[in-house]
């Protein structure tokens, strides 16, 4: 099932993309998609989707969740990306965080200010927790996942790498986490570890990769994180990015006002953002 949200920012309604590609408003079945509604019964409640009203026109698509919990980020999770960053291939997942206030719709603009000098892109597979997970095994891990989505982990590299401290400060500006367009349940994904990822800037290919190249696959990441913290419904895990980020190019390339970023993941949909001065 493909869950989504539509409408103006802050007033989105829950919807489902049906089998024929129509957006169906399901606000009569669920108040919204948030940590309180991502229970085991949500999908069964939405089975009546064909009976729900069709959304016409081309509405704005909002982030797939009304409220995100903790955003867990995994760094250097593709061998080629670690190499282009000039960093050692990790022997354990590299974990950092991103402010929940970064979340925006998949096609909302990416802001750029005069203080930003090295604005970069990162297409990533996003994992949304649906059941509380604490000290779970890899075999149990995916039972605690509600679904999967597309994330652009937008990063200001100068803030991330040149200002001291943790990576989080370069990751946490508003609209640095476009999320969506869909939250796709696992039954629609035959092989989670063979999904193709891509990202273009101004229609020029930048990133191409596959989740088969992850150093630590999704089940490992969920289990690993749950050894240190209790994962809650609505938590988002950004699982790392393949090679092709701007900071890894020779010479480096960064986003400028007016640039257009398009990205997507096989079976999970695509995003499109314009970089705009803020």
What confidence tens digit (pLDDT) does each residue in 195-236 have?
A: 999 999 999 999 999 999 999 999 999 999 999 999 999 999
The pLDDT, as a whole number, for residue 125 is 98
Using 50, 70 and 90 to split pLDDT, how confident is the model at 69? Answer: very high
The pLDDT, as a whole number, for residue 107 is 98
Using 50, 70 and 90 to split pLDDT, how confident is the model at 91? Answer: very high
The pLDDT, as a whole number, for residue 81 is 81
The pLDDT tens digits for 5-62 are: 999 999 999 999 999 999 999 999 999 999 999 988 999 999 888 899 999 999 999 9
List, in order of start, the domains of the chain with CATH numbers.
Answer: 61-277 (3.90.850.10)
Q: Is 182 left (phi over 0), alpha (psi -120 to 50) or beta?
A: beta
- Decide the pairing of beta strands 103-104 and 177-178: parallel
The pLDDT, as a whole number, for residue 155 is 97
Q: Two tokens at 160? A: 């991330």
* 82, pLDDT greater than 90: no
Cα 91 to Cα 78, 94, 109, 160, 229: the distances in Å are 12, 9, 36, 22, 20
Q: Two tokens at 47? A: 């089975």
3-class SS at 216?
A: coil
* 88, pLDDT greater than 90: no
The pLDDT tens digits for 134-173 are: 999 999 999 999 999 999 999 999 999 999 878 999 999 9
The pLDDT tens digits for 100-113 are: 999 999 999 999 99
Neighbours of 82 (CB within 10 A): 20
The pLDDT, as a whole number, for residue 119 is 98
Cα 273 to Cα 29, 188, 194, 204: the distances in Å are 31, 26, 25, 14
For the chain, state the CA radius of gyration.
Answer: 18
Question: What pTM, to 2 d.p., does this model score?
Answer: 0.96
Mean pLDDT of the region 162-190 = 95
The pLDDT, as a whole number, for residue 260 is 98
Mean pLDDT of the region 81-91 = 82
Cα 161 to Cα 121, 141, 166, 239, 242: the distances in Å are 15, 32, 8, 20, 19
- Decide the pairing of beta strands 2-6 and 183-185: antiparallel
């Amino acid at each position: 099932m493909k869950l989504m949200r539509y409408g103006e920012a802050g007033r989105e309604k829950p919807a489902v993309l049906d089998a024929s590609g129509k957006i169906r408003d399901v606000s009569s079945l669920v108040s919204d998609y948030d940590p309180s509604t991502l229970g085991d019964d949500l999908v069964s409640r939405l089975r009546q989707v064909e009976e729900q009203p069709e959304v016409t026109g081309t509405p704005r698509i909002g982030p797939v969740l009304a409220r995100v919990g903790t955003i867990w980020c995994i760094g250097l999770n593709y061998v080629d990306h670690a190499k282009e960053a000039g960093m050692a291939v990790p022997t354990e997942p590299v974990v950092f965080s991103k402010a929940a206030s970064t979340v925006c719709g998949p096609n909302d603009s990416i802001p750029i200010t005069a203080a930003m000098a090295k604005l970069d892109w990162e297409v990533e597979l996003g994992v949304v927790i649906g059941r509380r997970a604490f000290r779970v095994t890899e075999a149990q891990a995916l039972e605690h996942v509600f679904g999967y989505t597309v994330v652009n982990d937008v990063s200001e590299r100068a803030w991330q790498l040149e200002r001291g401290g943790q990576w989080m400060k370069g990751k946490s500006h508003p609209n640095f986490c476009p999320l969506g367009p869909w939250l796709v349940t696992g039954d629609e994904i035959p092989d989670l570890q063979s999904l193709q990822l891509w990202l273009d800037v101004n229609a020029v290919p930048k990133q191409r990769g596959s989740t088969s190249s992850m150093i630590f696959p999704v089940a490992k990441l969920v289990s690993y994180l749950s050894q240190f913290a209790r994962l809650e419904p609505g938590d988002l895990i950004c699982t790392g990015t393949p090679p092709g980020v701007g900071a890894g190019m020779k010479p480096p390339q960064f986003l400028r006002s007016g640039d257009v970023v398009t990205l997507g993941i096989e079976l999970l949909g695509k995003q499109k953002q314009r970089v705009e001065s803020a």
